[in-house]
Amino acid sequence: MAQAFYAQDEAGTRSRVWQSLAGENDHAPRNVQQKHFVYHLDDGTPLRRVDTDTFQVIGTGAYVHVVHE
């Protein structure tokens, strides 16, 4: 199951960020799977979580911050 929220870069551009559980579709036994959250933008660009509200775009190094509405 994936969840989405919005983040904004320094230029003010908003993007949707998807959070999903890595290993959800793995066929390994449950006790062997190591599940963790992975993050990516709508276009599939992967993100690295820096802290609660900050993510780094893998490949460019740019930072985006969660938009709280």
Domain that includes residue 24, residue range: 3-66
- How many Cα atoms sit within 13 Å of 63 on the Cβ side? 7
- Domain total in the chain: 1
Summarised one tens digit per residue, pLDDT across range 35-56 is: 789 999 999 999 999 999 999 9
DSSP structural state of residue 1: -
Rounded to two decimals, the pTM is 0.78
Which residues lie below 8 Å from residue 22, measured CB to CB, with a gap of 6+? 35, 36, 37, 38
Tell me the C-alpha to C-alpha distance, in Å, between residue 32 and each of 1, 28, 43, 48: 20, 6, 30, 24
Average pLDDT estimate for 49-64: 96
Averaged over 15-19, what is the pLDDT? Answer: 96
Rounded distance between C-alpha atoms, residue 32 and residue 22, angstroms: 13
